[in-house]
Amino acid sequence: MSLPIPPRRVLIVEDSAVLRHLLMRVVASDPRLELLQAVETAEEALRLVPHLRPDVISMDICLPGMDGLEATRQIMAHFPTPIVIVSDTVGGESTHVSMNALRSGALAVVEKPQGLSGGGATAAGIATQLYIMSQVPVIRRRLPQAGPFPPQGARARPLDIHPRILALAASTGGPTAFARVLGDLPADFALPVVLVQHMGEPFMEGFAQWLDQQVPLPVMLARHGTPLARGQVLVAPGNRHMTVGTHGEAVLHDDAQVQGQRPSADVLFSSVARVFGADGLGVLLTGMGEDGVEGLGRIRARGGYTIAEDRSTSVIHGMPGAAEQADAACISLPVHEIGPHILRLLAGSQAPIDRLLEG
């Protein structure tokens, strides 16, 4: 008989007394979780972390004194611990700071509760995020290195493929991975780019704005009918599927969730396979679950080229690992090698790209 799993120990960092007590109730009411302590400053959290050794931290961003962004950096540099950002969604600055916290090593961002039920994140949703993220192994984090890493061995050789679109998807750890991959691509990148990030709907516009400031390419939240344009990144909006249309445009729709997700990587990748065939280029990055595996396999089955993020850099190797096991990925690469590898693919391609849907 297997032993019962002990509850995951939670440290709450929140300066608002009302929200702090609300989060304490959320944790205390979930048998999967155990409340260690709730504090109102980052300084107090930094003092307690090495002594309490929590399994997961609920971190506010706007704190008196040191803010949650710097606290996240300090914790991940000295006492690596899974961190969930519990954030306001009003105003672009709050979301921008939350995205930078993710880049600094936090695992997820959820909306601050407006009550135990109804508007905002639900108690069950916050508790589940804390429970899931508490089980993610984390390591010491440093700020990302600038510039591409040198190619390794045979990976430097260009391949005989002719991509006309780049589609990417990620879940947990995605913001940092997207910033790295797209940050290694030049401002005059030759392909249209479409991507899916699993994230709460209220944060998607802020995520797109944040990513736009991190990478050379222009990034925008897709609207129904937005044309695909070379060198432009279209982000699937929250709670809507995005596909590529047969006239070179983004198509949004509200069909049922796939793999528990909307937007779904499977839906986007499958449309790339259907419309672009052998000229599709798909990249599946870090994330939990298996969303994107089937769609990535369809791109490969049509003769397209597919990349999965290697275990060595994935925050969670669930999605890319499942793609490897399903033989949906042509190659697995660490995140810092993916952008340079894409550029080598294009350097070896002689295909015209001005007409997105020719032939």
Catalytic site positions: 171, 198, 291
Q: How many CB atoms lie within 10 A of CB 85?
A: 26
The residue among 326, 268, 332 whose CA lies nearest residue 306 is 332
Tell me how far apart the alpha carbons of residues 153 and 201 are, in angstroms, rounded to a whole number: 41
| Planar angle of CA 19, 126, 31, nearest 5 degrees | 100
If 0-12 CB within 10 Å is exposed, 13-18 middle and 19+ buried, where does residue 104 land?
A: buried
Eight-class DSSP state of 358: -
List of long-range contacts for 298-303, beta carbons under 8 Å, 24+ apart: 298/269, 298/270, 298/273, 298/274, 299/167, 299/269, 299/272, 299/273, 300/327, 300/328, 300/329, 300/330, 301/273, 302/273, 302/277, 302/278, 303/277, 303/278
CA distance 259 to 289: 8
**In Å, how far are 4, 29, 193 from 207, measured between CA atoms?**
38, 31, 16
- Number of separate helices (H) and strands (E) present in the chain: 11, 14
Strand, coil or helix: 284: strand
Phi-psi region of 87 (alpha: psi -120 to 50; beta: other; left: phi over 0): beta
Q: How many CB atoms lie within 10 A of CB 80?
A: 15
Our measurement of the distance from residue 283's CA atom to the centroid of its chain's CA atoms, rounded to an integer in Å, reads: 12
Using CA atoms, how far apart are residues 267 and 260, in angstroms rounded to an integer?
12
58 in Cβ contact with 10 (< 8 Å): yes
Query: Per the structure block, which two tokens stand in for 152?
Result: 């390794």
Tokens of 48: 């307690």
